[in-house]
Structure 1
C-alpha cells in the first residue's frame, strides 16, 4: 500500500464540503499525505486530486439513477481503477450510500480498509444496508448521537463525532452587506428559497416554490432570495426563475449564499436535506418541501418507516416544522404556510424554540477535528500504512 495516499469519495454537495474540511484536517496532521478521489469544488480547493466529479454521480431517486447510470458507472470504474493502481492506505467514503456502499465492497475485495463518514439513514429506510456495512466497512463515523446504538448492536465499529455544520454554518458577510448585494430592502420581510443542490432536485422543487412566491407577493409587501448552491449554474437558475416567477415582489438569485440567506431571511422554504440542518442552526423558521418522480415516490413509500422526512423533525421528535412532500407540495399549500410564519409571531417563536433544542442534539463544535483524529487512531490501531501520523 502507498505510504502517503488516501482515497476520499463524496457524491454530493454536502459531502464535498465535509470532505474538504476533513482533507485539510488530515493534511495538517499527516505530513506529505496525498488525497485523491471523487470531489467537487470544495474538495478540489482543499487540495484533493479529482479522479471523478461529484456531478457525475449525484443522483437522487430510482428513475433519476436509471437515466444517469452510464455516466455514474464510468466514474465508479475510474475510481476503482485508480484505487487498484495506487493501493491507498485507506478509503474514506462520505455519505451517498448508493454510490459508496457499492464502492466499499469493491475496495474491500482489494484489501483497502474503509472508513465511512456520515452514516446512511438506515434507521429511516433500507435497514438491510446494515448487513452490507458490517461486511465491508471497517469504521463508521456518525453525525447523530442516536446512530451509535444501531451500529454497536450490529457489531460495527462506530464513533460519534457530531455534526460538521455546527462549525460551518455562519454567514460570511453582515446583514447590511447581504441586502446591499441583493439590492433588497432590509426592512421588508424576506423569504429565502432553497430548491436543492442538484439540478434534478431544482427541476422538481423550484417551479412550485416560484408559483407559491408569486401568490404570496400578490397580497403583501415581501421580497424573495433564491439561494443557489455552488453546484448549480447561476445563469441556468436565473433562467428558470425568469420563466416561473410572475409575482410583483422583488426576487433575486444569489450564488453560494446559503448561509447568509438562512441567517438573514424571516422565513425559508428548504428542500429536504442538509440545508434543513443549516436552517435549524441559524434558527430560521422554515417549511420543508420535496418532490421526486412519481415512480421514485411510490417505491420510497414502501421502504420508509419513520414518521417524518426532515432530519429536523426526526431530531425534535415531533412536527417542529411543516413538511410538504410530493402531492402535498402544492403552491397554495406552500403559500399559506409562508404567510402563517410571516404573520403569526407565536408560531414563529414556538418554531424557533424547537430549533434551538434541535441544535443542542447536533453536538459541540469540532466534529471535523474529531473525525480526523478517529481516522488517525484507526490507522495506528490497524496499521493501515506507514504514514507518520501525529498523536490525536
Structure 2
C-alpha cells in the first residue's frame, strides 16, 4: 500500500552549474507532482526553487586532487549529514547531479538503504577514469545523460540510461543574427570568467587580469567585464581585483553571466559548463585551465580525450583555443586573445562554428524528461512496474 505522505526526493550537487540544473529539475518535478517534498545540497538557485537545503555547495566546491585533500574534513562532515538524512528522512529517491567524487560515495549509502538512485548529468568517465562505470553500475539505478554520445558508452557497460537532452537548451533560445563579430569594434568588450570555485579564482583570476592589462596596452579602448559567481566569497574576490580597478577599464558583474555574454565580443573563460553556455550564445572564447602541478600530473596520466573544454569535446575538434597549465599565463592569454579580437573574420568564423553546437544537443525539455524518469523510479519502487511510466532511451 502506498503511503499518504508526499513523495520525498533528495537532490545533491556540489557546483554552481549543478545548482542551476538542480533548480530547473526541482521546478519540473513540482509541476508534475505539486505535493513533492524536496531536500538536498545546493545553492541559492535550488533554495529559491523550493529545495530545503541541509548544506550549501560552497562547502563542497573544489577542483583538483590536492584541493579535495585539503577539504576532506569538511567533506566528511557533510557526508555524515547526508548519511543521517538518508537514515532519518528515508527519501523515496536520491538524485545526484555530476560531482562524482562525492556523489558516488553517497550513492553507495543510498543503495545500502534500498533508496533508488538517479544520476543526472553524468560524470565525464568517457573522458577519464573509465573504470568508474563499474561503480556506477553497482550503485546507480538509472543515468539521465545530456550528451547523445554518452548513451552507447553506458549501454555497452550494462547501465540503464536515457538521453534527456541538454538543460541549457531550456534556458538559451536560438540566438538572433549577431553582427558584433563581423566588424572590428572601436571599443571591444572582453569578458573574463574565472570560474565558480575558490581554487579557480586563486589560479586564474590574477593571470586573467594581468592579460587584460596587456590587451589594454595594445587596445586602450578595450573594456573588460569580470564575472564574480554567487558561490565565491566577495571579500576574497575584491582583494584580488581591487588593485586593478585604477589600472583597467573594467566592471565586475556579480551573479549570472548572461549579461556578459550579451555584451562581449570575446571571452576568456575557465573550462567548465560556462563554455558550453557561451557557445550556445555564439560568443567566441579562449578557454583556460589550471590546477596544482600534482593534480595535473595525475590527470595527464588518466585522461583519455584530446580536449579539456566541453565545446571542443562535443565538436570532436578544436573550435576554441585551450590554454592549459603553463600556457594559461598572462602573456599567452593576451596574445591569443589579441589574435582573435584584432581580426573580426576570425571571430565571425568561430561564432558560426559555435552556433552549430546546438544541433548536436537534442531538443529542449531535459528537465521535464528527467522529472518523469524520477517519478517513474519512485512509482516502480512502490508498485508493480506495469503501473508506472516506461523509462526508455529517447
The TM-score, its normalising length taken from structure 2, stands at 0.91
2:182 aligned residue: none
Which of 3, 13, 18 is matched with 1:15 structurally?
18
1:103 equivalent in structure 2: 106
Which residue number in structure 2 is paired with residue 54 of structure 1? 57
Q: 1:246–1:255: structure 2 CA closer, same or farther, 3 Å change rule?
A: closer
Give me the whole-angstrom Cα distance separating, in 1, the residues matched to 2:388 and 2:304. Answer: 42
Mapped to 2, the partners of 1:234 and 1:390 lie a distance apart of 46
Residue in 2 that maps onto 1:326: 325
What is residue 288 of structure 2 aligned with on the other side? 289
2:204 partner SS:
helix
SS of aligned partner of 1:215: helix
Q: Structure 2 CA distance, aligned partners of 1:12 and 1:108?
A: 23
Secondary structure of 1:275's counterpart equals helix
- The CA deviation at 1:170 is 6.5
Q: Helix, strand or coil: the match of 2:218?
A: coil
Structure 2 unaligned spans of 5+: 179-184
352-361 or 309-318, larger mean C-alpha shift = 352-361
Give the alignment of 1:1-392 within 5 angstroms. Answer: 3-169=6-172, 188-220=187-219, 221-243=221-243, 245=244, 248-383=247-382
1:147-202 deviations in whole A, cap 9, x for unaligned? Answer: 0001111111100011111122469xxx9xxxxxxxxxx96210000000011111
User: Do the aligned partners of residues 247 and 327 (structure 1) sit closer, same or farther apart at CA in structure 2, a change above 3 Å counting?
Assistant: farther
Once residues 223 and 264 of structure 1 are traced to their aligned partners in structure 2, the CA distance between those partners, rounded to angstroms, is: 10
How much has 1:265 moved relative to structure 2? 0.3
TM-score relative to the length of structure 1: 0.91
Secondary structure of 1:218's match? helix
Gaps of 5+ in 1: 176-185
Please state how far the C-alpha of 1:263 moved relative to its aligned partner. 2.1
In 1: Cα distance, 2:235 partner to 2:253 partner: 10
Deviations 1:293-331 (A, max 9, x none): 111111111111100000100111111000001011111
The residue aligned with 1:180 is none
Which moved further from structure 2: 225-234 or 272-281? 225-234
Q: How far off is 1:366 after superposition?
A: 1.3
CA distance in 2 between partners of 1:359 and 1:189 (Å): 26
Local SS of the residue matching 1:321: coil
CA contact (8 A) 1:90 1:384 kept: no
- Number of residue pairs matched? 377
Secondary structure, aligned partner of 1:145 = coil
Q: Is the 8 A contact 1:211 1:246 kept in 2?
A: no
Indicate conservation of the 8 Å contact 1:170/1:260, yes or no: no
Distance 1:166 1:326 in 2: 31
